[in-house]
Structure 1
Amino acid sequence: MELFSFLRGRVQICASIWFWIVLLFMLQNSRGTASASTYLIGLGSYDITGPAADVNMMGYANSEQIASGVHFRLRARTFIVAEPQGNRVVFVNLDACMASQLVKMKVIERLKARYGNLYTENNVAISGIHTHAGPGGYLQYVVYIVTSLGFVRQSFDALVDGIEQCIIQAHENLRPGSVFVNKGQLLNTGVNRSPSAYLNNPASERNKYKYNVDTEMALLKFVDNEWGPVGSFNWFATHGTSMSRTNSLISGDNKGAAARFMEDWFEENNSGSGASPIKKEKIPRRVSNIIPSMRKKYDKLIDLAATFQSSGGRHATRLLSVVRRVRSDSRQADKPRFVSAFCQTNCGDVSPNVLGAFCTDTGLPCDFNQSTCNGKNELCYGRGPGYPDEFESTRIIGDRQFRKAVDLFNGASEQLNGKVDYRHTFKDFSKLEVTLPKQGGGNEVIKTCPAAMGFGFAAGTTDGPGAFDFRQGDNKGNAFWRLVRNVLKTPSKEQIDCQKPKPILLDTGEMKEPYDWAPSILPIQILRIGQLVILSVPGGNNSPPCIL
């Protein structure tokens, strides 16, 4: 089963309520907008792969999914945008299932020791791409580390070390530059894995949208005043579940693959502008970096050496031109390496398994309403475009995102200008008041309550089916699992009434032994770069960037 679907409702509340409240606060307290301002920009990238063997993987909550190798390595990628004499913001994108408040606390502690109050929890946002193929055990809540049998120090240290180092890189690379934004539609890269649930939305709501998933990609292009393009970050909604719950290789899934494709594309085609078209005949591949590519360096040195001629006791007339070439090569070595990040947005029920869900025993489509096969959820799996090869599905979905990102990158012309700002708050999601329209007219105020996982949650999704006799959409439950539940925690009547019509399987929000099972207070963070606003939450299900 997939452990994190229950956060969708909380993130939607955040996106629909706090986004606009905090955004309004930002606009009301704006110090004004500078025109045609030039920012300081810096980008960094660092390895965060962590343990690649004998550790439970994060995402599917499958205790049998134990890492046994590496598909490709994981990275943290960072950008910093700063006003020359003012605010700065940091965004870190992780090739990990999600960020962790515990990880961020340790990172901020290290940054404070190094830079003082320059980087704090207020202006540093950390988010994950939601890959389900990374090592687990790095969060501080029971429900997230129960399948990893507790906290895994190696996973935690790899993340903290990598995030710290990539922020240091970005800080040391800060140089005058500009940021451009572009948006576009990307189809056939994500489908709604719960279309029957979507159809339960009012027709008036569904009629606002052309598709039942978000198809927009937003991209930032970072351009150094001297070196030209030095990186890009984009946001697009599709789950990191091209790799299945039986996969045992560490992988950044489709978004991690897309990032590697784009970084390779730029390195292979960069002539200073980074605007070369994609080669249609092949997909860029990441070759092993274990053995350095000495051949190219050797040939370059031979060519350079050949330009030196014997003076025969006279002055070498080519001396100045040779010196210029040597200096030019030396300067090229100082050029920042291109960094490309493929960030997650409102992925909710967006699956990369675009062929649909089918029964593994019959090959027929799964039951539309409950995603079962002959009443069992374990046999219903979504199929990616490379079916039955999940590695190929990962490559294809990554390639589709990469190609769209290149189009947006080459066409980015809207420059961000104005102030850099940020807001950060902690909000107790178990005590929110929400105003909703009533069917007969008027409005009513309802209150949220502590988190709880329902019986339908245990059925998982078509990306990662659960076990036993659970079914999606179950609003009844059964006596046996209620008895099992009560051994851990019997929910109060108030909690049962608040969660209706969802029957409670695990009352995680009220479970505190040996420590909290799930968060109730979550950090909400907004970064502003000129006319662009980014809402970030730790889980990775961020709202898409908003252009004011």
Structure 2
Amino acid sequence: MLQAGWGKERIAIEARGYAMHGFGQPHHQAHGIETPLWARALCLQDGAGQIVVFCCLDLGYVTWAMRSALTASLREAIGDSFADERFVLTCTHTHSGPGGCSHDAMYNLVTPGFQPDHLAAVISAAEAAIVIAWQGLAPTDISIGSATFEEKVPVAWNRSLDAWNRNPDVAKFIAGENHRALDRRMQVLRFARDGKTQALLSLFGVHATCVSSHLDKHDGDNKGYAASAAEAVLAAAGAEAPVAIFAQSTAGDVSPHYHGPSDLAIRRHIQGNDEYAYAKTNGEYQSSLALATNTTTPLGGSLDGILTYVDFSNVAADTAWTGGVENARTGDPCHGVAFVAGTPVDGPGVAAPLAAILRQGSRLLRRWRMSRFSGLSANDRAYYQALYEAHGAKDIVFEASLKLALGRPFKSLGAASIVDPLLAELNRQAKAGALNKSAMVPTVLPLQIIRIGTVALVCCPGEFTTTAGRRLLKTIEDSLKGQGYSQVLICTYCNEYMGYVTTREEYQQQAYEGGHTIFGQWTLAAFQTRFAELAREFRQPVAVRKHDQALRPAAVPADELAKRSRQRPN
């Protein structure tokens, strides 16, 4: 029998007017707390003393800054039984949680800047929850099961149906059938002692965007409400200090809001405090299904994990996952017009006329760079040729590696800064010398597989669409055949955040998800290539595995990080 323990700790961040992470809107500032935000943790131990740690945060993202600091502190707190490769750090992806917790610049712009006290509070809460879980290790009955939301349950809708329908391997749906264009299954791990459920882990993909950017309080959104509701039920049934984790599966193209005919009009009828009520109802749907799931398959046996980091700015994708296309590679990170345009129902971005201007400007820049009149050197021309081949249909706005916006250096965006506060902050940081050597977005990304008895848990950074996740799972299932696994599951938003992963077909639509797939149209194929390699190594005994264990993200210059730290005036 495996041993298990669980714990939770409140993330003690005061709401002081800083913008929240998720919608990318400077006006989305936190001035109060609607619901507490928590770090929830599970710890498992097998007969050989190996432990697996799973921690889920009520936040919009997980960053290398969080994970690296926690890894160091947990080695000291727990000792030799703690292992980096068996530590999973993920989040609920609530869009109503604090930001400013990354050492990379892009996703901190809105906060504004890096907020070291936010990061310290997250690390403190996560470590406390994990240590509680570790100290509570005891023999526990662990079982797994799955259940499916009935179609009539209004819990999730595909928000990019046209992109979904481009995939050749999916059922095609029409507007109004968006609720069918997703994975409505929920997987549940249940932890019981003396016949009573004490903790659970749910995996179901749906965005935590019930609460919009028009409200001004920290809130756990649907996943947070689901956890609280489940914990209340378990406590009423006799569980002592229960912990319920509602983590994400493939949520990239899945919204908690109705999508279909008249969706914008319907969304406008949910405003103000009704949004909190809507999030609570959505969470209760998830909680009810998790608690009702028949987890009849026991989990025992050994624990294991494998972790590697890959630089995704230049990965050659295997033809097995490119449809036979040769020389397919990822490229330096770039954000498209669709990224700044946002999603119409969940989180609108810039106005359509401005998006049209940006799109035209991006296309003109591409044509100029590729023309004989550009004056580019042979090396620069070759670079841009490869960049545009990697990014394909994307109308590029931001070139993160070169720190350009529509071809202009960030520090020369003075005029544009007048009309956009995010560009103003970007311009301020560039002029202050805060971005000279710092990365805008992470490019060295973690790939991880965890073994819990006969279950393999694939832990992915960022946001995978439903079909992208399904294809990745099939890739890993094929690579792990014959190794005694009964199920292969996926958890996203794990260990780092860098945006989205779509299928190549979805990418061509250049909906929001495609515009935020920052390494280009071959990103999924690159993940399949590298995860297949990792899974093959995972088949081997630990002592003979040859995966890269040395590569990690580069350290951020302390002086530049300090220059990005900005106090909001009272």
Please give the TM-score of this superposition, normalised by the length of structure 1.
Answer: 0.70
Matches within 5 A, 1:119-198: 119-186=82-149, 187=151, 188-198=154-164
Equivalent residues in 2 for 1:241-260, closer than 5 Å = 241-260=209-228
Q: Deviations over 1:200-240 (max 9, x none)?
A: 222x444699931111100000113x573210010101001
Partner of 1:492: 384
2:203 is paired with a residue of what secondary structure?
strand
Which structure has the greater CA radius of gyration? 1
The amino acid of 2:287's aligned partner reads: F
**Corresponding residue pairs, total:** 420
Q: Is the 8 A contact 1:128 1:539 kept in 2?
A: no
Distance change (3 Å), C-alpha of 1:356 and 1:245: farther
Q: Distance in 2 between matches of 1:524 and 1:338?
A: 30
SS class of match (1:246): coil
Once residues 196 and 508 of structure 1 are traced to their aligned partners in structure 2, the CA distance between those partners, rounded to angstroms, is 28
Q: 1:355 to 1:125 in 2, by over 3 A?
A: same
Q: Which amino acid aligns with 2:340?
A: A
- Which structure has greater helix proportion? 2
Residue 248 of structure 1 and its aligned partner are, at CA, apart by: 0.9
Could you report, residue by residue, the CA deviation over 1:332-355 in whole angstroms, capped at 9, with x for unpaired residues? xxxx41111110111001000025
Q: How far apart in 2 are the matches of 1:471 and 1:456?
A: 11
Indicate how the Cα distance of structure 1 residues 119 and 482 shifts in structure 2: closer, same or farther if over 3 A, else same: farther
**What is the distance in 1 between the residues matched to 2:179 and 2:215?**
34
1:101, distance to aligned residue in structure 2 (A)? 1.1
Q: Please give the secondary structure, in 2, of the residue aligned with 1:66.
A: coil
Aligned residue for 1:84, secondary structure, equals coil
The aligned residue for residue 115 of structure 1 is: 78
Cα offset, 1:359, TM superposition: 7.7
Match of 1:57 among 10, 20, 25: 20
Letter in 2 for 1:457: F
* Structure 1 residues 386-410: Cα deviation after superposition (integer angstroms, max 9, x where no partner): 99921121011111101101111xx
The 1:72/1:90 distance shift into structure 2, 3 A limit, reads: same
Counterpart of 1:352? 256
Task: Specify which of 230, 234, 242 is matched with residue 266 of structure 1.
Answer: 234
List, as ranges, runs of 4+ consecutive aligned residues in structure 1 with deviation greater than 4 Å. Answer: 207-210, 355-360, 381-384, 436-439, 480-483, 540-546
For residue 189 of structure 2, what is the aligned residue in structure 1? 220
1:451 aligns with 2:333: yes
Shift of 1:513: 3.0
Question: Cα–Cα, structure 1 residues 99 and 259, in superposed 2: closer, same or farther, change >3 Å?
Answer: same
Tell me if structure 2 keeps the 8 A contact 1:425–1:523: yes
Given that 1:128 and 1:538 are in contact with CA atoms closer than 8 Å, whether structure 2 keeps it comes out as no
Distance 2:305 2:263 in 1: 47
1:533 matches 2:432: no
- 3-state SS of paired residue (1:163): helix
Q: Sort the Cα spacing of 1:516 and 1:442 in 2 relative to 1 into closer, same or farther, 3 A.
A: closer
Q: In the alignment, does 2:385 pair up with 1:419?
A: no
2:65 is aligned with 1:102: yes
- Quick check: 1:425–1:524 contact (8 Å CA) kept in 2? yes
Q: Secondary structure at the match of 2:36?
A: coil
Distance in 1 between residues matched to 2:347 and 2:179, nearest whole Å: 27
Q: 1:391 to 1:115 in 2, by over 3 A?
A: closer
CA distance in 1, matches of 2:58, 2:282: 16
Classify 1:113/1:86 alpha carbon distance in 2 versus 1 (closer, same or farther; 3 Å): closer
In 1, Cα distance between the equivalents of 2:312 and 2:111? 26
Supply the distance in 2 between the matched residues of 1:497 and 1:120 (Cα, whole angstroms): 39
SS of aligned partner of 2:343? coil
Deviations 1:167-207 (A, max 9, x none): 110011000112100101124311011112212222x4446
Whole-angstrom distance in 2 between the partners of 1:267 and 1:438: 47
Matched, 1:506 2:393: no
* 1:427 match: secondary structure: strand
Pair 1:87-2:27 in alignment:
no
The residue aligned with 2:440 is 517
Q: Determine whether 1:402 maps to 2:287.
A: yes
Gaps of 5+ in 2: 370-379, 404-434, 474-485, 489-570
TM-score (norm 2): 0.68
1:342 aligns with 2:246: yes
Q: CA deviation at 1:522?
A: 0.3
**Counterparts of 2:49 and 2:353, CA distance in 1:** 54
